[in-house]
Amino acid sequence: MELINIKRKLATARRGHRLLKDKRDELMRRFLILVRENKQIRREVEKGLKEAQAHMAFAGASLKEEIINTALMLPKQEIFVDVKQQNVMSVLLPEFDIKYKSGDENDIYSYGYAFTSSDLDMAVKSYADIAVKMVKLAEIEKACSLMAGEIEKTRRRVNALEYIMIPQYEDTIRFITMKLDENERSATTRLMKVKSMMLEKVHRYSERGEQLD
């Protein structure tokens, strides 16, 4: 009964090992896709930030600090981020949905154009465009972090099954099988011995009967 029970556990462990390996491979595939996307968006964000900072530097050189502070004091446009979750291979990945206070693209400019420069306009436009990509970058980086943790957890489970549990079950099955075979051989030997003794007794009785006759 113990042998049957362990064989069932071994079959379950092998099936679980196969499923976990498939899960790990699929997680790795999706993780690599996210990493490539993360790399691309990070490059775009860094490039956009450099351009925005360059335009802001030109605007600071051509305008007084008081004019810039006054122009940017009361922004008209606002961004709201709605956080949702998506279940991917038992991993809850975040989804950031961006919403604007106003649908008018020109609302990013909270000032008039009379006393400002085009460099300030381009800087504001660049920062507004980069804000969307930065939210997307944050979403992907969080997803990569969560998926990397799940990959590591799955990898440890796969290794535990492959190098610890399954070999232990196999060793136990071999040990029990050897014991059962040994017991069977011992029982067979005892039966043969008993049979031999019985035949020997029968033979002796036969010889005595022949002598009496």
Nearest alpha carbon to residue 87 among 27, 22, 158: 27
Does residue 172 sit within a domain?
no
Assigned token pair, 161: 């099954």
pLDDT in 10s for each residue of the chain, 213 residues: 888 898 899 899 999 999 999 999 999 999 999 999 999 999 999 999 898 888 888 888 887 888 778 777 777 778 888 888 888 888 899 998 888 887 776 677 777 776 777 888 888 888 888 888 999 999 999 999 999 999 999 999 999 999 999 999 999 988 888 888 887 877 777 777 777 777 777 666 565 555 555
Q: Is the pTM of this model over 0.85?
A: no
Number of domain units in the chain: 1
Does residue 180 sit within a domain?
no
Cα distance between the two ends of the chain: 56
Other CB atoms within 10 Å distance of the CB of residue 170: 13
CATH, residue 72: 1.10.287.3240
